[in-house]
Amino acid sequence: MDLPRVSAPDFDSVSDRLDSLQSWNADWRGLRVAVLGLGVTGFAAADTLTELGADVLVLASAAADDRARLVEVIGARLLQGELDTVPDGLTEFAPDLLIASPGFHPDHVVLEWAAKRGIAVWGDIELAWRLRDKVPTASGAPAPWILVTGTNGKTTTTQLTATFLAEGGLRVAPCGNIGVPVLDAIRDPQGWDALVVELSSYQLHHVRREGVGSLEPLASVCLNIADDHLDWHGSGEAYREAKATVYANTLVACVYNKADPVTEAMVREADVADGARAIGFDLGAPGPSDFGIVDGILCDRAFLDDRHHSAIELSTLAELAERGLDSPHIVANILAASALARAAGVGVDAIHRALGHFQLDAHRIQLVAVSDGVRWIDDSKATNPHAALASLQSNESVVWVVGGLLKGVDIDDLVRSQVQRLRAAVIIGVDRSALREAFARHAPELPVFEVDSTDTGEVMPNAVRFAASVAAPGDAVLLAPAAASMDQFADYAERGTLFAGAVREFLGGGADEQSASGH
């Protein structure tokens, strides 16, 4: 393969040149960059770098993809293969920089190869941060970033925060792990007044805490922490360490969960800008500098002058119940998002108005149907035990549809803590042994069904039939898998869609009118 090298400007070292690249207007021409991965993020990185004049080589799997056909169109080159070894073409290319797409394990052979050779590795987030001045705000400064992470609730909190900012009159883009690459957001020609950036632990792993390229968010939050993605990070400690990066260099407000001591410790240990405040939230009464609930009223006791003696009303639990937003974990997300929005200067009136029209995404505690007193709920987005716990705790009696890829996480504690509210369990997934054993240990008398079909189209119809055979009036049949979906489905959305479709087909015309509305 012909991979000619392009001469770079005169710098003492590649490291010095990379340190100089802190603006869209810096000289990126001829920089040799390898992009590992061709998903949404990888393609955005390649597209951005070629626009800047860099010499880009994309490494992608051998699987055919529409994006692969576009690589040469945007001016980059493509090297396809299984990526289980370092391609010869990459060695010949001799990159100055490697951009790693989220999802590639830290011990991936290409990343280890780069580390041994002293080749800098960035994620898409650092690249976007360095380029954030492409379309400045009206003041001439880059749009500030608000960062959101946590084991669960990231997307809902990101959407809530963006909705609050938009209601407050700001042009805002929710982006990052939510589905829109940050690199696409910063290149949007209309520009933004703020970016609300959802960050996964994978992305945070590559974010540096200090020095050139480190982020300086206006406000940041880690919503909660529970073991997840241990197969990727290698340990719970490494996972928590990645999440804690969200608070580094925060300028105005580090928002943390008072009910989760780990997030409070993260804030306490973070190196932040002078004057940055720690803002707590939980479902209890707020102290000064907190958000919380008093007599059913959601309160801001942080962003007001007399916070030692008074608070400002944001909304009420009764109002949220009318919108299907009163589940405890959703209320917690609302409080966290309110704190982020208030840190950005949004008024409480705007937050109250926004809550009047905000809707949760599909597959997040979404009511599919009500029939004969049984509620059928799709929470396919509950892809880990922590998320499933929140969903289970919102219901008193549950027929639980559970299972999938557990990602190295122990399911035993979740089963043990929730058996008292279970009417029955329906186990799905290719490997059901861990769940089967947990139910046998902690609830030997509980009716437990297993869906052993390997046909994706048959999994949910079978699960629904099993659930319907035991569900009684007052029960919730709850799809909260506590696991990833890729063993049997394309993603959690397909899993939820197929569940909802199977429910509606099974019930036929037997569902109450409420089935048309969702939480």
Question: Is 123 assigned a ligand-binding role in the annotation?
Answer: no
- Residue 400: burial class (beta carbons within 10 Å; 0-12, 13-18, 19+): buried
Question: Is 179 assigned a ligand-binding role in the annotation?
Answer: no
Question: Is 155 assigned a ligand-binding role in the annotation?
Answer: yes
CA within 13 Å, CB half, 110: 28
Distance CA 268, CA 266 (A): 5
Query: How far from the centroid of its chain's Cα atoms is residue 247's Cα?
Result: 16
Question: Is 91 assigned a ligand-binding role in the annotation?
Answer: no
Question: Is 134 assigned a ligand-binding role in the annotation?
Answer: no
Distance CA 159, CA 133 (A): 23
Helices (H) and strands (E) in the chain, counts: 20, 20
**Which uninterrupted H or E stretch holds 388?**
helix 385-392
Whole-angstrom CA distances from 331 to 227, 299, 303 are: 22, 12, 19
One-letter amino acid at 326 equals D
- Phi first, then psi, for residue 170 (nearest 5°) are -95, 145
Question: Is 137 assigned a ligand-binding role in the annotation?
Answer: no
CB distance 257 to 234 below 8 Å: no
β pairing state of 297-300 and 290-294: antiparallel
- State the Cα angle at 43 between 90 and 212, rounded to 5°: 75
SS3 breakdown of the chain: % helix, strand, coil, rounded to 5? 35, 20, 45
Greatest pairwise CA separation for the chain in angstroms: 75
Q: How many CB atoms lie within 10 A of CB 383?
A: 25
Question: Is 151 assigned a ligand-binding role in the annotation?
Answer: yes
CB distance 503 to 466 below 8 Å: no
User: Binding site: which residues?
Assistant: 150-156
User: Binding site for ATP: which residues?
Assistant: 150-156
